[in-house]
Amino acid sequence: MSAARELFRRKPVTAPVASPGGLARRIGTFQLAMLGVGATIGTGVFFVMHEAVPLAGPAVVLAFVVAAIAAGLAAVCYAEMASAVPVSGSTYSYAYATLGEIVAMAVAACLTLEYGVSTAAVASGWSGYLDRLVGDLFGWSIPAALTVGPLEGGVVNLPAVVLVGLCALLLIRGTRESATVNTVMVIIKIGVLLMFAAIAISAFNADHFADFAPHGAAGVTAAAGTIFFTFIGLDAVSTAGDEVRDPQRSLPRAIMIALAVVVAVYLFVAIAAVGAQPAQDFEEPEQQSAGLAVILGDVLGASWPATVLAAGAVVSIFSVTLVTLFGQTRILYAIGRDGLLPSAFARVDPRTHTPVFSTVVVAIAVSLLAGLIPLSSLWDLVSMGTLVAFIVVSLGVIVLRRTRPDLPRAFRVPGYPVTPILAIAACLYLIVGLGWSTYLWFAVWVLAVLAFYLLWGRRHSLLGRQPEGADAADGGATEGPARGGS
Query: How many whole angstroms separate alpha carbon 185 and alpha carbon 100?
Result: 38
pTM passes above 0.75 = yes
DSSP for residue 484: T
Whether the CB-CB separation of 149 and 371 falls below 8 Å is answered with: yes
List the one residue out of 260, 250, 295, 220 whose CA is nearest residue 67: 220
List the one residue out of 480, 484, 469 whose CA is nearest residue 9: 469
Query: How many whole angstroms separate alpha carbon 144 and alpha carbon 154?
Result: 7
User: How many other CB atoms sit within 10 Å of the CB of residue 438?
Assistant: 20
In 201-278, alpha helices (H) = 216-228, 232-238, 247-276
Q: How many CA atoms lie within 13 A of 145 on its CB side?
A: 1
At 290 the pLDDT is 58
At 277 the pLDDT is 85
Q: If DSSP states are collapsed to H, E and C, what string results for 301-326? A: CCCHHHHHHHHHHHHHHHHHHHHHHH
CA atoms 274, 275, 278, 281: torsion sign: negative
Query: How many whole angstroms separate alpha carbon 475 and alpha carbon 463?
Result: 9
At 477 the pLDDT is 38
Query: How many whole angstroms separate alpha carbon 35 and alpha carbon 108?
Result: 20
244 forms beta bridges with: 27
Contacts of 267 (CB under 8 A, 6+ apart): 61, 64, 65, 68
At 314 the pLDDT is 87
At 197 the pLDDT is 87
Looking at residue 43, its amino acid is T
At 249 the pLDDT is 85
DSSP for residue 277: S
Looking at residue 17, its amino acid is V
Query: How many whole angstroms separate alpha carbon 484 and alpha carbon 346?
Result: 10
- DSSP letter for each residue of 291-303: HHHHHHHHHHS-S
At 1 the pLDDT is 58
At 117 the pLDDT is 86
Inter-axis angle of helices 356-372 and 158-173, nearest 10: 170
What tens-digit pLDDT sequence spans the chain (486 residues)? 577 788 999 998 776 655 556 777 888 899 999 998 988 887 667 667 777 888 888 998 999 898 888 888 988 999 999 888 888 888 999 999 999 999 999 999 999 888 888 888 888 888 877 888 888 888 888 898 988 888 888 899 999 999 999 999 999 998 889 999 999 999 998 998 888 888 888 888 899 898 898 889 889 988 888 787 778 778 888 888 888 888 888 889 998 899 899 889 888 888 988 898 888 887 776 655 556 777 777 777 767 777 887 788 888 889 989 999 999 999 999 999 999 999 999 999 988 889 999 999 999 999 999 898 877 667 778 888 888 988 999 999 999 999 999 888 888 999 999 999 999 999 898 888 888 888 999 999 999 999 999 999 999 999 887 665 444 433 333 333 333 343
Ordered by where they begin, the domains of the chain are 25-462 (1.20.1740.10)
Contacts of 242 (CB under 8 A, 6+ apart): 16, 19, 22, 23, 25, 87, 88, 330, 485, 486
Whether the CB-CB separation of 32 and 245 falls below 8 Å is answered with: no
| Cα→Cα distances 481→14, 16, 19, 84, 474, Å | 6, 8, 11, 15, 17
Looking at residue 296, its amino acid is L
Query: How many whole angstroms separate alpha carbon 352 and alpha carbon 372?
Result: 31
- DSSP letter for each residue of 178-206: HHHHHHHHHHHHHHHHHHHHHHHGGG--G
Query: How many whole angstroms separate alpha carbon 191 and alpha carbon 316?
Result: 11
Q: How many CA atoms lie within 13 A of 46 on its CB side?
A: 34
At 13 the pLDDT is 79
Whether the CB-CB separation of 288 and 66 falls below 8 Å is answered with: no
